[in-house]
Structure 1
Amino acid sequence: MTNDTTDWFGPEAATFGDRVAAAREAAGMTQGQLSRRLGVKKSTLSGWEQDLSEPRANKLSMMSGLLNVSMTWLLTGEGDGMPEPGELELEAGDFSSVLSELRELRAELRAGSDRAARLEKKLRNLLQNAAQ
């Protein structure tokens, strides 16, 4: 017997990182919000969502509780997890959370750019003083 339906979050269609990102978004959280609640850096969570690394068991357990999905679903796509994308409905809150995350990202980029400019100026001064 063949199954013609796609298991959107199963191991053939999605990775661990895909499932984490989908569950986080469905929970209405930004990466920053979830990382704070888990007690990890945002870059750590981003690494998990990009499948660059995986969390330890204690963080995986916390994450499944915060996202209201089972650990098994996060790891394998089987068990209590998210409905398929066709079953999800967009609400006005979905758009505002994306806009909020974009604003947060822009602020972080601006702060990083300002920091890089300060370091460049400091380095120029150090080089100029060393040349004298």
Structure 2
Amino acid sequence: MTTDTLEKTAETAENWFSDDAATFGDRLAAAREAAGLSQADLAQRLGVKTKVIEHWEADAKEPRANRLQMLAGMLGVSLMWLLTGEGDGVDMPDETAAETAQVKGVLAEIRELRTAMTAMTGRLGRLEKKLRQGLDQSAA
């Protein structure tokens, strides 16, 4: 890497959610995702409709002051960070963490499929047994 590239990378990491790099909606979405909440989960906890969260994250509307304080507390970030990008917020996304999350998701899906297949195998065995019993009774 060149010196310019290293400086830009460091600057991006340093100002990842600064006022210049992200909006309130971007910071809200990042904090919500870092907390492991869906828009619907956050809406339910705040007592608002999911559409309201969507509007906030799209920067189409802004929350009232009382909701801002609740958001900061629920998401574990400072109110200042949520508003300006300065202060205690979420860490810059780590590609390794994203890849790990994706792998965990795939593993969870594999476990679900394996459980479903085991249940289907048992069901198939029971049906086969009934069919054999039916054939044995009709042959006798």
TM class, shorter-length: 0.5 to 0.7
The answer to which of 84-93 and 39-48 deviates more is 84-93
Gaps of 5+ in 1: 97-132
Question: Which residue in 2 is equivalent to 1:57?
Answer: 65
Structure 1 runs of 4+ aligned residues shifted over 6 Å read none
Following superposition, the deviation at residue 88 of structure 1 comes to 6.9
1:19 correspondence with 2:27: yes
1: distance between equivalents of 2:102 and 2:43?
20
Comparing both chains, which one has the higher relative contact order based on Cα–Cα distances under 8 Å and sequence gaps of 6 or more?
A: 1
Question: Which residue in 2 is equivalent to 1:80?
Answer: 88
Helix, strand or coil: the match of 1:52?
coil
Gaps of 5+ in 2: 1-6, 106-140
The structure in which a higher percent of residues are helix is 2
Identity of aligned residues (%): 54
1:44 correspondence with 2:88: no
2: distance between equivalents of 1:46 and 1:23?
14
The structure whose Rg is larger is 2
Helix, strand or coil: the match of 2:97?
coil
1:36 counterpart letter in structure 2? Q
2:24 counterpart letter in structure 1? F
* Paired residues, number: 95
RMSD: 2.3
TM-score by length of 1: 0.65
